[in-house]
Amino acid sequence: MGVLGFAGTITGHRSVAFAEVGLEEVKRVKNAFGVTVNDVVLAMCTGALRSFLIERDELPDKPLLATVPVSVRGRTERKDLGANKVSSIFASLPTHLDDPAERVRELGNSNRKAKAHHETVPADLLQDWAQFAAPTTFGLAVRAYSGLRLAEKHPVVHNLVISNVPGPPMPLYLLGARITGMYPLGPVFHGAGLNVTVVSLAGKLHVGLLGARDLIDDLWPLANALRPALAELLDAAGA
């Protein structure tokens, strides 16, 4: 698989896996390194991806690049409060670094710079990029990209999507029964056939992994690598 394995033409077939980690453990790492929860989530995913690719003897010598959705709700001037207000930034995942402490520090520094640059662009402009391509033209372009399998020859710039969504800090109930797991699944794209989405609920982080099955047939090894990756970060925080 490796980086090129993420970059391929997808079909309608999917592979799914999920995992759960403790939010307090993530916050311990955050406080130890002076970074954000999102930085720690990305560092955990980076460590899991590194282990996953090493196991397959496919670890690239360069970082992976993730698209990370970010909210611009507090910056927009528009009044349509019910609409989604989301843009995205690119995050370089230092899978090439062996030291987990180096990985989380590198992510903290690079994400601060990416966010600072992102905030210099008006929020409404970030959301309106699609106005430059009419829906019909864009749809034809996507179908051509898929039909000609251009993802193998001219892949998109990012390798995967990682999204971290804050959820309710209190328990949720449905028909009187407590919800013990809430695993989100995000979209995959031609050229980037892996999505990792994280949502918090009552002190836990629930991780949903969705992949294009033709590119990544089994996501459970990656899901199972998330807890050890967080344990690495906890050890580094203690040291």
Residue 30 sits in a domain whose CATH number is 3.30.559
| pLDDT score of 145 | 43
* Tens digit of each residue's pLDDT, the chain (239 residues): 444 457 778 888 999 999 999 999 999 999 999 999 999 999 999 999 999 999 988 899 999 999 888 765 554 555 555 555 556 788 899 999 999 999 999 999 988 887 775 555 554 544 555 455 545 444 544 454 455 454 455 455 778 999 998 899 999 999 999 999 999 999 898 878 899 999 999 999 999 999 999 889 999 999 999 999 999 999 999 97
Q: Is 230 left (phi over 0), alpha (psi -120 to 50) or beta?
A: alpha
Number of domains within the chain:
1
What is the edge-to-edge ordering of all strands in the sheet holding 86-93?
Answer: 14-22, 204-212, 194-201, 160-165, 64-71, 86-93
| pLDDT score of 176 | 94
Give dist(CA 200, CA 169) in Å, integer. Answer: 7
- Write the pLDDT tens digit of every residue in 92-144: 999 999 999 999 999 999 888 877 755 555 545 445 554 555 454 445 444 54
| pLDDT score of 128 | 55
Residue 100, domain extent: 2-203+210-238
Give dist(CA 134, CA 74) in Å, integer. Answer: 28
Give dist(CA 92, CA 95) in Å, integer. Answer: 9
Q: Which helix (H) or strand (E) holds 138?
A: helix 135-147
* Count of Cβ atoms closer than 10 Å to residue 225 Cβ: 22
pTM, two decimals, is: 0.80
